[in-house]
Amino acid sequence: MKLVGVELRRIAMPLVAPFRTSFATLTTREILLVRVETEHHEGYGECVTMADPLYSSEYTAAAVDVLRSHLVPALAALPALDPWAVAPALAPFKGHRMAKAALETAVLDAWLRAHELSMGQWLGATAERVPAGVSVGIMDSVPALLDAVDGYLSEGYLRIKLKIEPGWDVEPVRAVRERFGDGVLLQVDANTAYTLGDAAQLARLDPYGLLLIEQPLDEEDIRGHAALAERVRTPICLDETIVSARSAADAIARGACSVVNIKPGRVGGYLEARRIHDVCAAHSVPVWCGGMLETGLGRAANVALAALPGFTLPGDTSASDRYYRTDITEPFVLKDGHLDVPRAPGLGLSPIPEKLAEVTESTEWINA
Ligand SMILES: CC(=O)N[C@@H](Cc1ccc2ccccc2c1)C(=O)O
Ligand SMILES: [Mg+2]
């Protein structure tokens, strides 16, 4: 394959309801779509950066700049383009894993379409559908939270994840347990909002049979998570900390986590995501697929990844209507609490032109 050029398209997707976490409250998801054009095919990658560097150090304007100034020119210089050539070509540039992931995924999508392979086939998926969990934001009141959880359970979601932060943790968890019972798969995500000094407060979650506590401490605090794991019975899961297979091996070896949330955008792409899956499987560490409020494009790739055998816990691979009234692709719809893995070549779906036009803020073409 030869690179003809790359389109950077910024879109704005209004959320069906504000989504509040310990680091931000969002009402619109601003997304960067990367479209790679080769001689005979095109491919899409969805960059998971936020508009502001609040979840990670990356943010969308920086991703646009590093793609235009460094990453796309590096690919254009390659004599031949295939999915395996992308990461080595981009390795000299430090960081920017989300920008790199979007570009690699776009090349992968084009390559898979050229070879008439689906993402699931290529990754080694062993399931045709995956169980869906849902991430529930911090709410204004416990009754409002219980209504939201009731709605999601009625839709059939198989696992509930509650965003927590200091002051909104034990009470909402206790209320969900009291209202919906011990049978509901339940976990929490702090997005780094606590410190090791909060260990006693986090240990108060132990009686509620949570699957895990996700990223309680700062993403760089490996030692802190290992110390916390000694003082809290609920398993610790890491998200922001795990940026590569090496960092997963390091965190596991140091006892900082016993579950891993894999997000291909955060780790530099689906090839690295599969490596992390393999490292975790080798250590008997269960993994699940995290979410970054992707459109159907990113969602399709995540669902294919979540169909690998080590993904034994429901992920944040929710239906499209969890976040968006209308998606830019055919929507993912929950069926008996599961999402079907796309079977068509590449990501298995494409943007619907009219829908894409409706949410497009700007586009930029970069000649190879
Ligand atoms: C589904 C879920 O909880 N995702 C992230 C948090 C998150 C939430 C909202 C986001 C909005 C824009 C970009 C990144 C975002 C990440 C998490 O697991 O930690
Ligand atoms: Mg998380």
Residue 100 is a catalytic residue: no
Q: Which of 350, 289, 356 is nearest to 317 (CA)?
A: 289
Q: Is 335 a catalytic residue?
A: no
Mean pLDDT computed over 50-59: 98
Class of the domain covering 120-340: alpha beta
Q: How far apart are CA 120 and CA 305, in angstroms?
A: 7
Determine the pLDDT at residue 117: 98
What was the pLDDT predicted at 333?
98
Using the atom order of ligand 1, give the atom closest to the CA of residue 29. Answer: 12
97 Cβ contact partners less than 8 Å away, ≥ 6 residues apart: 58, 243, 265, 266, 267, 268, 269
- In sequence order, the 6+-apart residues with CB closer than 8 A to the CB of 95 are 57, 58
Contacts of 360 (CB under 8 A, 6+ apart): 9, 10, 11
The pLDDT of residue 16 is 98
What's the CA-to-centroid distance between 31 and ligand 1, angstroms?
13
The closest ligand to the CA of 136 turns out to be: 1
User: CA–CA separation, 9 vs 324, rounded Å?
Assistant: 18
Instruction: State the pLDDT at residue 157.
Output: 98
pLDDT of residue 60: 98
Give the pLDDT confidence score for residue 85 in this predicted structure. 98
Nearest to 17 by CA among 147, 108, 107, 128: 147
Which residue(s) pair with 288 in the sheet? Answer: 261
Residues 49-75: what's their mean pLDDT?
98
Catalytic residue among 94, 263, 335, 355: 263
Provide the H-helix boundaries in the chain: 60-66, 72-76, 83-90, 97-114, 119-123, 142-155, 170-180, 199-203, 222-231, 245-253, 264-267, 270-282, 296-305, 353-359
Report the length, in residues, of the chain. 368
pLDDT (tens digit, 9 = 90+) per residue, 103-157? Answer: 999 999 999 999 999 999 999 999 999 999 999 999 999 999 999 999 999 999 9
Task: Classify the C-alpha dihedral 262-265-269-270 as positive or negative.
Answer: positive
The residue to mutate among 32, 55, 322, having the most atoms of ligand 1 within 8 angstroms of its beta carbon, is 55
Average pLDDT, integer, range 32-59: 98
Pocket test for ligand 1, best of 135, 266, 289 (most atoms within 8 A of CB): 135
Q: How many angstroms is it from 352 CA to the middle of ligand 1? A: 25
Label residue 8 left, alpha or beta by phi (over 0 means left) and psi (-120 to 50 means alpha): beta
Select from 267, 293, 324 the residue to mutate for testing ligand 1; criterion: most ligand atoms less than 8 Å from CB.
Answer: 293
| Residue whose C-alpha is closest to residue 303's, from 169, 119, 103 | 119
Q: Are 102 and 58 in contact (CB under 8 A)?
A: no
Of all protein residues, the one whose alpha carbon is nearest to atom 16 of ligand 1 is 292
Please tell me the distance from the alpha carbon of residue 136 to that of residue 148, in angstroms, as a whole number.
Answer: 8
DSSP 132: B
Ligand 1 atom showing the smallest separation from residue 191 Cα: 19
Per residue in 176-217, pLDDT tens? 999 999 999 999 999 999 999 999 999 999 999 999 999 999
Task: Give CA torsion, residues 260, 11, 104, 113, to 10 deg.
Answer: 110
Tell me the two tokens of residue 334: 């929950």
User: Which residue from 72, 71, 76 is spatially nearest to 91, judged by alpha carbons?
Assistant: 71
Instruction: Could you please state the CATH topology (level 3) that the domain comprising 3-116+350-367 is classified under.
Output: Enolase-like; domain 1 (3.30.390)
| Residue list, ligand 1 pocket, CB within 6 Å | 19, 21, 26, 29, 50, 55, 135, 189, 191, 239, 290-293, 316
92 is written with which tokens? 């000299």
| 3-116+350-367 and 120-340, same CATH topology | no
Q: What atom in ligand 1 is closest to the CA of residue 26? A: 11
Quote the pLDDT of residue 255: 98
Q: Which of 2, 100, 163, 335 is catalytic?
A: 163
Above 0.95 for ipTM, yes or no? yes
Please give the pLDDT value at position 278. Answer: 98
Take residue 167 and report the two structure tokens written for it. 């002051």
Residue-range domain boundaries for the chain: 3-116+350-367, 120-340
Per-residue DSSP letters for 17-43?
EEEE-SS-EEEEEEEEEEEEEESS-EE
Ligand 1 atom having least distance to the Cα of 240: 19
Asked whether the beta carbons of 153 and 202 are under 8 A apart, the reply is no
pLDDT, tens digit (0-9, with 9 covering 90-100), for 280-330: 999 999 999 999 999 999 999 999 999 999 999 999 999 999 999 999 999
What pLDDT, on the 0 to 100 scale, is given for residue 62? 98
Q: For position 294, what pLDDT does the model report?
A: 98
